[in-house]
Amino acid sequence: MMAEKPTRILLKLSGEALKGENSPFSPVSLQRLCESIASIPIQWAIVVGAGNLIRGAQSPWLGRVEGDTMGMLATVLNALALQSYFLNLGKRVLIQSAIDTQLTNSISPREARAALADGAIVIFAGGTGSPLVTTDTAAAIRAISIEADLLIKGSNVAGVYDGDPSQDPSASLLSDLSFDDFLAQRYGVMDQVAVEICREHGMPIEVFHLENPNALALIAAGIKVGTRIQ
């Protein structure tokens, strides 16, 4: 179970969170997001997706394996963009990638934990290093490997609903869900494999709306703002 106030959080950040209206990057969104994270004095790790650049599963002109491989490479670009903004804010950053590049370090949970304890922000890129696996699953694996207190997923909805809020105005936000209920109902807001991994290792999850300006600070203070799955 999570401590009342988490000291180490892993944020699963979609690539769409970095996207501009007509470009893959929004300097305004990047600055706002990085300033928010940097201002909260806890240990932060981030798993970044690549939906602002490419979505392998939704690219019919590519084979799934090729598309996913391109997506994993694209997460490195997003990690570098985040690093640039954090460095400008005076934060130390360690990027670890499941795909080897000259610009990143290899995945090492031990080194990641040491960097977090020393005050650095750790950004994980490259997904799991394998195609056909989502960055949600990578986030679950990284959260467990760094011994995070909580895995949080910034989404474009406030949390998990008992229906589709875009189609059903009466759909209600569920503030708490068990792992078993989430998996049985097959809610689509987070990858089922990722939730199964978290269930096996007792890693609580919170799904929240990333556009909520106070969400990260509230979660870091131990206050639930979206849907808690545990």
Kindly list the domain boundaries of the chain, sorted by start residue.
8-229
Whether pLDDT at 4 is above 80: no
Whether pLDDT at 1 is above 70: no
Q: What is the pLDDT of residue 56?
A: 56
Whether pLDDT at 3 is above 70: no
Contact, 29 vs 17, CB < 8 A? yes
Cα dihedral sign for 14, 20, 22, 23?
Answer: negative
Q: What is the pLDDT of residue 62?
A: 81
Report the pLDDT averaged over residues 43-50. 97
CA torsion angle 43 44 45 49 (round to 10): 170
The partner residues of 12 in beta bridges, in order of sequence, read: 47, 153
Report the distance separating Cα 167 and Cα 94, nearest Å: 41
Give the homologous superfamily in CATH for domain 8-229: Acetylglutamate kinase-like (3.40.1160.10)
Report the pLDDT averaged over residues 122-139. 96
Instruction: With CA atoms as reference, report the closest residue to 154 among 70, 29, 21, 53.
Output: 29
Q: What is the pLDDT of residue 168?
A: 86
Instruction: With CA atoms as reference, report the closest residue to 154 among 9, 6, 14.
Output: 14
Report the distance separating Cα 19 and Cα 141, nearest Å: 25
Report the distance separating Cα 143 and Cα 135, nearest Å: 12
Report the pLDDT averaged over residues 39-62. 85
Tokens coding 183:
């998996």
84 residue type, one letter = S
204 residue type, one letter = P
Q: What is the pLDDT of residue 22?
A: 87
Contact, 11 vs 154, CB < 8 A? yes
- DSSP class of 52: T
Note the pTM of the prediction, 2 decimals: 0.94
Report the pLDDT averaged over residues 192-220. 96
33: left (phi over 0), alpha (psi -120 to 50) or beta: alpha
Report the pLDDT averaged over residues 219-223. 96
- pLDDT winner (highest mean) among 1-10, 59-68, 145-154: 145-154
Average pLDDT of the chain, as a whole number: 93
Strand order in the sheet with 8-13: 105-106, 93-97, 121-125, 43-48, 8-13, 150-155, 205-209, 227-229, 176-177
Whether pLDDT at 151 is above 70: yes
Tokens coding 73:
């490479």
CA distances to 31, 39, 129 from 94, rounded to whole Å, are: 18, 18, 18
| H or E segment to which residue 48 belongs | strand 43-48
Whether pLDDT at 131 is above 90: yes
Question: Could you read off the pLDDT of 76-106 as tens digits, one per residue?
Answer: 999 999 999 999 999 999 999 999 999 999 9
Report the pLDDT averaged over residues 125-152. 97
